Chain A
């Protein structure tokens, strides 16, 4: 048993932390303020191989692992949650989905481009009437010769508009319910595919979140991902992996807020003492750092299990549930410690608090995570 990162994971952490400090942090406030997708940093991350960390070298990836990937998302989110989720959605929801479920031809065609970051990836499951109840899919895919014709709408899709490849769930046989859902790889250039309205969000404002519109969108049959009717299982398994990424994002946000709070409490003086000298500060921050550290262990354990081919669904749910709630608590307290300043945009904790909220919602709300965890509890 070993609780340390490996030598290469540590060296990677050194690199990505330096990258986050030098390249990401300086533009984080601007990206939030302007709701701007940080293309320049995504390009730099692509060049370094950060968009293909767990993808094997034979498919043009870095040949790393998911623990390393969580380190990337954590360190990036520590200074900019937007950048964290871009990497997470790309890697977990698109690249991993193709790696885990694709045919050799699909892997050869898509993975090198995704791993190198030449193409950005996204994933489409949520619909206006199919959120937490993902089985209520209304996007239809009808076979037509060598093609499937897709019609319908997806909403709240991360990286939408920026992405070149989308993994899309659609109903191929309504009568079969969950077993009638199939996933497809849809390229952005496919006729009949378009991007709808862009959401204006509370947090992660630099991340592109849009509607996807399918109007007689003709997807070649060879782009079916996994078996006909196997889409729901693929989507759920993909989300299990995605949750590790979002948990890492929440962890990063929480640690970033803690870093800012510690710095501020050392500087800020009230009643003749620095805030750091008050026992209330010390005790509250001690409790929070304990939760952050616990989140980190949950995140890394879930990633480690995925890397070792072990079941990790409940682990990912616990990691995401706990890390997200810790991020929300930490950032709320961070604003409180900063007082009036914390409520202004002069300090980053206000942004971090807005960013933290989404981690309790997307890729399965905290309630869904509890359902997943409870289901495992009562299974026996």
Chain B
């Protein structure tokens, strides 16, 4: 392969029901930095249906060019349809770098594409840089977040990576930015469409995504079970917070995956993170240590969570949380 043929930093502009996902804008922010370091362009790959106008938004957020793929087959995300569109675009334009959000879509599409293109893919990168040899340096946590690894893909193109939402910073939106919009027609092979979408259900309507919450009351092994989490919910209700969970409680089936904080769950940055009965495995810390203020309650005074907490309480969350709820609700009713 002639590496020189491949250039520019491409971002998969993920949309759902016509709405461009925040992670795509974050990736444009990072792609801008990488492209400037390489002296190359930022290009957004934008598959969807009847959504062409949104391409301008991608330009405002840092894209130099948007490749629009507009087809009824692309109305809803389905692996094969999107893989055909994206691989045709990549074959045609030969990007040097392709970035995708590490969402349920990006983590489904990314590996499928990498396999089709016979190239490497690095999952869940937390930092991306350009080396002196103009290679992409992809750094990601490994071993449950206990270790960081820097990975390169020197002999294959494109260099692909996924990045979790909330990890990269968006650039500054500039609606006056100028960019190119190109429409690419996709030739679909419908004989390969074996998966049909029957129904799409939104389950947590009205609930705030934990990544958007101002305050998180989070529980771990020390909270133990559903009854324990009910105590956290009571506290959260009083202060308008959301309840989140460590991986252990999700693996144990006590809490759903959507509220898992950590390397394999969500990265959160609330104003207050109240960690109850969470020991603080590194994989958990990776998802919450950027919080503005962290209060931790744990029985074990040697728990690693105290290493990142602004305030640590050595004690039993089962006792402290209801007491805190009681005092807070008195304060709230007084007001």
Contacts and interface: CB of A to CB of B under 8 A. Distances in A.
Q: Find out whether A and B make contact in their complex, taking CB atoms under 8 A apart as touching.
A: yes
Interface stretch (B95-103, B115-123, B209-217, B296-304): B296-304
A273 to B, nearest CB: 12
Nearest to A269: B301
A63 interface: no
A274 B302 CA distance: 10
Interface residues of A, number: 6
B225 interface: yes
A33 interface: no
A26 interface: yes
Contacts of A22: 252
Interface in B240-279: 252
Contacts of B302: 266-267
B301 A26 contact: no
Question: Is chain A's binding surface mostly helix, strand, loop or mixed?
Answer: helix
Interface residues of B, number: 8
Contact of A267 (B225, B252, B301): B301
Contacts of B301: 267, 269, 274
A338 to B, nearest CB: 13
Interface in B143-166: none
A26 B227 CA distance: 12
A22 B221 CA distance: 12
Interface of A: 22, 26, 266-267, 269, 274
A266 B225 contact: no
Contacts of A274: 301
Question: Is chain B's binding surface mostly helix, strand, loop or mixed?
Answer: loop
A266 B300 CA distance: 8
A269 B314 CA distance: 11
Contacts of B225: 26
A22 B224 CA distance: 10
A25 to B, nearest CB: 10
B132 to A, nearest CB: 48
A267 B302 CA distance: 7
Interface in B286-335: 299-302, 314
Closest 3 CB pairs of A and B: A267-B300, A267-B299, A267-B301
Contacts of B224: 26
A140 to B, nearest CB: 52
Interface in B171-226: 224-225
Nearest to B298: A267
A26 B300 CA distance: 20
A337 to B, nearest CB: 16
Contacts of A266: 300, 302
A289 B300 CA distance: 23
Given A22-B252, A26-B225, A266-B300, 9 more contacts: A26-B224, A266-B302, A267-B299, A267-B300, A267-B301, A267-B302, A267-B314, A269-B301, A274-B301
A22 B252 CA distance: 9
A274 B225 CA distance: 28
Nearest to B224: A26
Nearest to A346: B316
B277 to A, nearest CB: 13
Contacts of A269: 301
B262 to A, nearest CB: 21
